Amino acid sequence: MFVSNYYSNDTFMLSKGDAMLYYKESMKVSEMGFLEGATHLMSSHDYDDWGSYFFDSFLMSIIPNKLFLNLVYTVLGAFSAVFLFLIGRNYMPDVYAFMAGLAYGTSSFMIFFNCSFLKEALFVFLVVAGMYNMYQYINTNARSSLFTGILFIGAIVFFRPAVAAFEIASIFVYYGIILKGRAISIFLYIIAAAAFAVSLKSLQQISDTYTAGGDIDKLIAYSGRDEYSGGFNYFVCFFGAYLGPFPTLFTKIAMHPSPIQFYGSGLTHKLFLAIPLWIGAFYAIKQWVIKLFPLIAFCLFEMTSTAYICDSLELRKVLLHVPFTYILAFYGLSHLTTETNSIRLLYAITYIFPIGVLFLWNIIRV
């Protein structure tokens, strides 16, 4: 709260248009009756914003105070960190799983978004909670966890439908592997193929919307990155998606204090996990730790999609897979401490690479 007040002269980061819109609309809906409010939202906004409006207006109907929402979002952020720890402890020593959850939960960019009144704070929680409950079902076969996981993933549809599809597809990857050769695996493949065929037209429309109909130059111009050549921009988008997000510590416009610089500290730490992330993915595949495959698959789906639409440089768009990169990165670090072959080279790449990227990125940005 104090940090938010310092940066925006308010108890929330309400300087951006989206945050103000969410706040005002949620306040308005909270003052209406349920049916009237629901009718207003469904007639005035796209369904991929309904989830945030409904949740915020519900909280405001209980206590119409921004600090209350700040507290709720902070608690959700803490639960996300705990879920990451609980997932990770099954595949690495507890100390590494704990550090993964702690590093994520105390990262400055997540603290920022928990105070921003943007939908990402709740959105990220739903993604993490959905994956956690699916892992609970995988590990314990508890139907209650399956039901809860489906509810969380279903709720994601009212934030960004494609992400719900990514999470379902990542779970399908796991079951597609462990059930290989069984009749049920063929059934799953048929369901996946049928779902893809049915949604093909919708997928094409979504793709055209996000990619400006396949016009890369128009897409890059729309995303505000047309100061460089198209090819360079596209390279940076893919580079940033798989190894970022990168911290911008200096801005072109003199802003003091700058929110970008505030959450840049957390992104700087995240950058040092860029190589361990892929080391973790490598060891998971090498040692055939199939239960980690859903995390790898989800990260790849999200990274590739945000790069494809040139949105990987916008922190809000890449936040959804970032929690799982902490698990994979600390899983990789747990192997680095025990690996004997080429350990010095791996350590050198792990720490020298981020320093070089940090320097070059900020030179380019300024």
Whether 325 and 87 have beta carbons less than 8 Å apart is answered as no
Spatial CA neighbour of 329 closest among 264, 236, 243: 243
Say if residue 221's pLDDT is above 70: no
Helix locations, the chain, DSSP H: 2-8, 17-30, 34-44, 50-62, 66-88, 94-105, 108-114, 120-140, 143-156, 161-178, 183-198, 200-210, 216-222, 230-243, 259-271, 274-286, 293-308, 315-318, 322-336, 343-365
* pLDDT band (50, 70, 90) for residue 330: very high
Give the least confident one: 25-39, 55-69, 132-146, 266-280. 25-39
Percentage, residues of the chain above pLDDT 70? 76
Average pLDDT over all residues of the chain: 79
Give the least confident one: 13-22, 67-76, 87-96, 284-293. 13-22
pLDDT tens by residue, 128-152 = 999 999 999 998 988 899 999 999 9
How many C-beta neighbours within 10 Å does residue 219 have? Answer: 23
The residue that leads in pLDDT, 182 or 98, is 98
The residue that leads in pLDDT, 136 or 193, is 136
The residue that leads in pLDDT, 192 or 340, is 192
Q: What is the pLDDT of residue 337?
A: 75
Q: How far apart are CA 24 and CA 22, in angstroms?
A: 6
Give the least confident one: 41-45, 84-88, 174-178. 41-45
State pTM to two decimals: 0.85
What residue ranges do the domains of the chain occupy? 2-365
Q: What is the pLDDT of residue 102?
A: 94
* pLDDT band (50, 70, 90) for residue 87: very high
Q: What is the pLDDT of residue 341?
A: 58
Q: What is the pLDDT of residue 305?
A: 87
Most confident of the following: 152-166, 232-246, 300-314 = 152-166
pLDDT tens by residue, 242-298 = 988 888 777 665 555 566 667 778 888 898 999 999 999 999 999 999 999 999 999
* pLDDT band (50, 70, 90) for residue 208: low
